[in-house]
Structure 1
C-alpha cells in the first residue's frame, strides 16, 4: 500500500508532524513502513507561460517558444511535440542544476538562441507522465509565472510504502491509513467536502432499474451521470504515477483515484452497452455458485460482485452516460469461492478478498467530488440500491481480561476512548465490563484477543512494560507418578549393571514360608480361595519365590545368574510394602581371555560394589537380627544418608544346599526408605582437597561402627569425609590390629597452613584415643 503525505493531509491535519514521525507512528500501530522517499523539485525551476510557439527555421522537430517566467520573457528552443501556445510549463532557468546533475546554460540550437529548458516530468525527478513536456494546471495550485515549482507542496511530496498483512484490508486506502493515524496522533478525520443540489436534476429511476432475485449476500448501490467533458488533471496523473497505477481512459483514472482514496470497490458501465438501445437499463442481482452474486443485464452477465467485470460493458471514451456501481461482498464469501471455482479475477479482487470498505456511498461521493472539481458532468438525482443487513459483531470483555492479555493495567476510560476512536460502538461500560460492536470495516477483529491487540497497537508496544514470561502450571506430579519414575530409573540402572528382571506371583506356598523361618498370614487374614495348594499365602519376602528362579538357571548350566525383582510383600497382618530384591550367584564375570577362562566366584565386596551402581553409595553395618536366609557371619544392614534401607547378605549355606545353589548373595531393599527426599544443595569449595592418612592401633574386637560413631558429628568443620583404607594384623600386635583411616580435608575460605592441618589430625587422634582406646602406630 502506497500513500503520500499530501494525499493523507486531505483527510487528517498533520501540521507539526514530520514525515519521520508519521513513519514511526505507522510502525508502532502495526502498519510496517517498507520504504520512504521524498520528491523535491530543484531550485531555479519555475512556472512558465508559453506566449508564442513557432517552428524553428532550420529544424522540423524544434519549436521556438517565447515563455513568460514572471521576471522576464525568455526565448527557449523546445523539441517536444506537445508544446504549444497558452501552456503552463516547468522551465529550468539558466544556472539550474537538474536532478541528474545537468547544468542549464545559455545555448544556441541550430543558430537560434535558447535561454533555459522546458522540462518533462522525468527531467524534474517525477514519474513519467506521458510523452513530451509536463503540462501544468491549477490542480496543483494557482499557476504564477516565475514561481518556483518547489513552492508547490502538491508536487513536492513524501511517498510512503506500507507493508500490510493480508488481514488489514481496511488500510488499503488513503482514508483507511488516515483513520489509523487519526487514532495514533489523537486527531480528528476531516469530513468529505461535497454537496450537490439535486433539486432540478433528473432522477436515476428514469434511466436505470436495479432488481434482485432471492436474497444475494452482497450490498450494491448504483448512480449515473452524463459526461460533458472529461480531462485528467495533473494532480491525479501524478498521484496515480506515485502509486504505480496505470490507466487507459480518463474515466479509469478518476475511478482508480477514488478507489485508492476511499477503499470502496467501484465499477463503471457504459449506459448504451447495458441498455442495448432502450431508454432504460435494467441490472439484476442474482445469486450463483458458492454464495457469489452476478450482475446481469438482459440475461447477460455484466460482472461477478467483487470478482471480475466483463470488458464488453465497461464505459469507454465514446460513452457520454455512465452508470457507477459501488459494491461490497464479505471476503469470507468471495475468497473461498474464487479458489474453489478457479474463477478469473480482475485487479479489484485483491481488495475484496482482503476486505473492502463497506461504506459504499462514501466511495461514490469521493468520485463525484473529483469529477465536479476537475470535469464537467451532470449527476442524476438519487440512487438505486440493494443492501444486505448485517448484524454487527459484538464483543463483551472485562477490563481484567484486557489487563491479563496485555500484561499491565489499563484504565477502563482509556480503553473506551481507544475503542471509540477505532470505530467501535460502545453500548455499556458497567461493572468493569465493556460491550461494544466491532466496526464493519474491520474484518480482522472477531474475539477478545483481537480487541486487546488493538489496544496494544494504539498504546504502543514500546509503552508496554517488559516483564518476564510468567505462568503457573498445576502440579501434576503425584506420589504415584513420582514412585513410577523412581522405579523405572532403578530398573534401567539395574539392567545396565548386568541384572535381569524376574517377575513372580505375589502368592506363595505357606509351607515353604514356615520352613524358611518366616511368619505366614494370620488365620483371619488368610486367603479364602487360593489358586492352588502351592499358592495359599502371600509372600513375606521376595526371596521365597526367587529361589526357584535361581535353581532353574543353575539347573540349565548357567554359570552365573544376576536377577532382580521389584514387588509387594506382606506381613502377618496383610500390610503391604514395596521391596526390591537383587541376587547374584555363581561366577562374578563371564569367562574370557582377561581371566584366562577361569573367572572368580562372586563375593560379598564385589556384590556390594555392583549394587552401588544401581542405588548409589551406601554403608554396611552389623545386622542385629539376621533371618533364616542370611549367612550369620556374612550379613549387614545397608545404610544410606543415615537411615537403614535394607539388608545385604550371603545366602545361608543350608538354604543354598537345599536348592543346589553355589555361593549366592542377595540384597533386600525397602522402596519407601530408598526413595530420595528433597535434596539440599551445598556449596563447593574452590580450594584443592587435602588427603591425610592416620594409622592407629586398636583392639581387634573393636568394630568399625564404634570408630565411626566416635568420629561422626565430632569432626572439625573442614573434614568432609573419612574412610578406612588398610587393616593389618601381625603377631607382634598380639590381640590388637593396625587400621589406617584416610581423611578428606576441604578448606572453605582459604588455604590451610601445615600447622593447621596437623592440628586437625591431632584433634581426631585425641578423640579416638579417648573413645576407642586407640594409639598412634
Structure 2
C-alpha cells in the first residue's frame, strides 16, 4: 500500500509531525513501513509561461520558445512535442543542478541561443507522467510565474510504502491509513462533505431500471453522470504515477484515484453499451448458485459483484452518459468461492478478497466531487441501490480480562477512547465490563483477543512494562493429558527394555510402497508438491521408513538393532492415525560371558516377550499377510481387551534380503488401542494357591483359541488362571497332539483339600471332553 504525506494530510492534520514520526507511528501500530522515498524538486527550477513557439530554423524536431520567467523572458529551445503557446511549464534556469547531476548552462542548439531547459517529470526527479514536458496547473497550488517549484509542497512529497498483512484490507486506502494515524497521534479525522443540488437535475430513474432476483449477500449503488470537458489535473496524474496506476482515459483515472483514496470498489460503464439503443438501461441483480451475485443486462452478464466486470462495457470516452457503480461483498464469502471454482478475477478482486470499504456512498460522493471539480459533468439526481445490511458483531469484554492479558493496568477511559476512535461502537461500560460492536470496515475483528490486540498496538508495545512470564495452569486431568502421559511412559518403557527411538519423515516413495504390497494415496488425494520424487507419498506403516534405519545400522556393523518409533501413518484417503512400532534385528542379547560371546539370533518367541515387557499382556491370534512386510508363517494379530490392536511378525525373507538384513521382527500397533485404562484393584486370597497340570490329546488342527474359549466362563470359580505350558506331537499320535495346561486354583474362604482340588480338575476335564473332543493322555 502506497501513501504520501500530502495525500494523508487531506484527511488528518499532520502539522508539526515529521515524516519520520509518521513512519515510526505506522510501525508501532502494526502497519510496517517497507520504504520511504522523498521527492524534492531542485532549486532554480521555476514556473514558466510559454508566450510563443516557433519552429527551429535548422531542425524540424526543435521548437524555439519565448518563456516568461517573471523577472524576464528567456529564449529556450525545446524538443518536446507537447510544447505549445499558453502552457505553464517547469523551467530549469541557468545554474540549476538537476537530480541526475547535470548543470544547466547557456547553450547554442543548432545555432540558436537557449537560456535554460523546459523539464519533463522524470528530469525533475518525479515519477514519469505522460510523454514530453510536464504541464503545470493549479491543482498543485496557485501558479505564479517565476516561483520556484521547490516551494510547491504538493510536488515535493514523501512517498511511504506500507507492507500490509492480508487481514488489514481496511488500510488499502489513503483514508484507511489516515484513520489509523488519527488514532495513533490523537488527531481528529477530517470529515468529507459533498453537497449536490439535485434541483433541476434529471433523476436517475429516467435512464436506469434496477431490479433484483433473490437476495445475494452483496451491496450495490449506482449513480449516473453526463460527462463533458473532462480534464485530469496534474496532482491526480502525479499521485497515480506514484502508485503505478495506469488509466485508459480520464474517467478511469478518476475512478482509480477515488478507489485508492476511499477504499470503495468503483466501476464505470458506458450507458450506450448497456442500453442497446434504448432510452433506459435495465439491470438485474441475480443470486447465483454459488451464493454470489451477478448483474445482468439484456440477458448478458455485466459483472459478477466483487470479482470481475465485462471489460468491453467500460466507458472509453470522457464524454457522454456513464453509470458509476460502488459495490461491496464480504471477503469471507467471496474468497472461498473463487478459490474453489477458479473464477476469473480482475485487479479489483485484490481489494474485495481482503475486505474493501463498505461505506459505498463515501466512495461515490468522492468520485462525483472530483468529476464536478474537473469537468462540466451533469450528475443525475438520486441513486439506485441494493443494500444487504451488514450484521453487527457484538463482543463483551471486561477490564480485568484486558489487564490480565496485557500485563498492566490501563484506565477504562483510555480503553474506551482508543476503541471509539478506532470505530468501535461502545454500548455499555459499567461494572468493569465493556459491550461493543466491531467496526463494519474491520473484517478481521472476531473475538475478545482481537480487541485487546487493538488496544495494545495503539498504546504501544514499547509502553507496556516488561515483566517475568507467569503461567499458572489449572489443575486438570484431560484426555489429552492422559494421552501425553501414556505415550511418555510408553517411550520410557521401550527405552528401559533396550530399544532406541527413531524419528522419520512421514513421506515415502510410492514406488517402494507398491513393491511392498501397499496401496498408495488415491489420485485425488496425492501430494501436489512433494519434497522430492522419492517422497511423493505418505507412509501407511511405520515399518516402511524404519527399513532404511535398520539397513543403515547393519551397514555400520551393528549386530543387535532394537528400535522403536511413535508417529503418524495414513490410509489411501489420507486419514491419519498414530502407530507404535517396535523393530528388532540381529542377536537377541549383547555378547557376554554367559553366552560365550556368541548370542543367539532373535526369534519369534523372544521378540514377543520383549513386546509384552513394553506394552503389557496381550493375546495372539492367527492373521493373514496383509502386505509384503509380513512373514506368511511367522506372523499374528495382537489383541488387547477383545480388540485387534496390531500385528507382530517376522520380516518377509524377500524384503530382508533386499535390505541385507538378518532375522528381523517387528510389532506395529495402533496407539488408540494402547491407551492406559484405569486399573481396578481386586481382592486376593489369603490362602496359598495351588497349581495343577492336565495333559490332554486334541486334534492337531485345533487352535488354542478354541480351547480357551471353551474354558472361559465355564470353569469353577476357584480356577483363577490357566495357560498352556507344553505341546508335543510324534508319529505315534498321528493327527493328534498332546497339550499340557496349567491351572491356578485358589479359594477366598479356606485352604482347599485334595479331594476338592481333584473334583475341580474332574470338572475341567469334562468341559474339555465335551467342547473340544479332548481325551486324557
TM-score of the two chains, using structure 2 as the length reference: 0.64
1:104 aligns with 104
Distance 1:487 1:348 in 2: 58
Q: CA deviation at 1:508?
A: 9.6
**Structure 1 residues 592-635: Cα deviation after superposition (integer angstroms, max 9, x where no partner):** xxxxxxxxxxxxxxxxxxxxxxxxxxxxxxxxxxxxxxxxxxxx
Distance 1:187 1:491 in 2: 68
SS at match of 2:21: helix
Change (3 A) 1:308 1:507: same
Distance 2:85 2:329 in 1: 50
**Structure 1 residues 632-664: Cα deviation after superposition (integer angstroms, max 9, x where no partner):** xxxxxxxxxxxxxxxxxxxxxxxxxxxxxxxxx
**Structure 1 residues 489-546: Cα deviation after superposition (integer angstroms, max 9, x where no partner):** 9975999999999999987983999xxxxxxxxxxxxxx95328x99xxxxxxxxxxx
**Structure 1 residues 355-407: Cα deviation after superposition (integer angstroms, max 9, x where no partner):** 00000000011111111122221111111111112220101111111122222
- Within-5 A mapping of 1:55-204: 55-204=55-204
Q: CA deviation at 1:487?
A: 11
Change (3 A) 1:436 1:484: closer
**Structure 1 residues 732-753: Cα deviation after superposition (integer angstroms, max 9, x where no partner):** xxxxxxxxxxxxxxxxxxxxxx
Change (3 A) 1:429 1:13: same
Preserved CA contact (<8 Å) 2:229 2:318: no
Whether 1:258 aligns to 2:436 is: no
**Structure 1 residues 37-82: Cα deviation after superposition (integer angstroms, max 9, x where no partner):** 1000000000000011111111111111010111111010111111
1:376 aligns with 376
Whether 1:510 aligns to 2:688 is: yes
1:452 aligns with 452
1:703 aligns with none
1:358 aligns with 358
SS at match of 1:268: strand
Flag structure 1 segments of 5+ consecutive residues without an equivalent: 514-527, 536-548, 550-569, 575-777
Q: CA deviation at 1:110?
A: 1.1
Q: CA deviation at 1:202?
A: 1.3
Structure with greater Cα Rg: 1
Whether 1:467 aligns to 2:467 is: yes
Distance 2:128 2:495 in 1: 81
Preserved CA contact (<8 Å) 2:228 2:318: no
Change (3 A) 1:77 1:286: same
Q: CA deviation at 1:408?
A: 2.0
Preserved CA contact (<8 Å) 1:182 1:188: yes
1:228 aligns with 228
Distance 1:144 1:496 in 2: 100
Preserved CA contact (<8 Å) 1:70 1:146: yes
- Within-5 A mapping of 1:214-293: 214-293=214-293
Preserved CA contact (<8 Å) 1:272 1:319: no
Preserved CA contact (<8 Å) 1:270 1:319: no
Preserved CA contact (<8 Å) 2:274 2:297: yes
Q: CA deviation at 1:475?
A: 7.4
- Within-5 A mapping of 1:523-542: 530-531=718-719
Distance 1:166 1:487 in 2: 45
Q: CA deviation at 1:319?
A: 4.7
Preserved CA contact (<8 Å) 1:247 1:253: yes
**Structure 1 residues 454-499: Cα deviation after superposition (integer angstroms, max 9, x where no partner):** 1111111111122232212337699x99x98999699759999999
Distance 1:490 1:424 in 2: 57
1:323 aligns with 323
Preserved CA contact (<8 Å) 1:172 1:260: yes
Give the CA RMSD over aligned residues. Answer: 3.3
Distance 1:82 1:179 in 2: 40
Change (3 A) 1:6 1:487: closer
- Within-5 A mapping of 1:575-590: none
Change (3 A) 1:186 1:512: same
Preserved CA contact (<8 Å) 2:249 2:318: no
Whether 1:301 aligns to 2:301 is: yes
SS at match of 1:303: strand
SS at match of 2:186: coil
Whether 1:404 aligns to 2:582 is: no
Flag structure 2 segments of 5+ consecutive residues without an equivalent: 500-587, 595-608, 618-681, 692-715, 726-745, 751-777
Q: CA deviation at 1:318?
A: 6.4
Change (3 A) 1:336 1:485: closer
1:432 aligns with 432
Preserved CA contact (<8 Å) 2:250 2:318: no
Distance 2:347 2:81 in 1: 34
Tell me the number of residue pairs that the alignment of Structure 1 and Structure 2 aligns: 528
SS at match of 2:377: strand
Change (3 A) 1:511 1:292: closer
Preserved CA contact (<8 Å) 2:248 2:316: no
Distance 1:17 1:368 in 2: 31
SS at match of 2:290: helix
Change (3 A) 1:287 1:484: closer
2:25 aligns with 25
Distance 2:495 2:242 in 1: 74
Change (3 A) 1:112 1:468: same
2:311 aligns with 311
4+ long deviations beyond 6 Å: 475-478, 483-487, 493-509
Distance 1:511 1:435 in 2: 72
Change (3 A) 1:490 1:82: closer
Whether 1:417 aligns to 2:417 is: yes
Preserved CA contact (<8 Å) 2:230 2:319: no
Please, which moves more after superposition, 249-258 or 489-498?
489-498
Preserved CA contact (<8 Å) 2:228 2:319: no
1:650 aligns with none
Q: CA deviation at 1:573?
A: 13
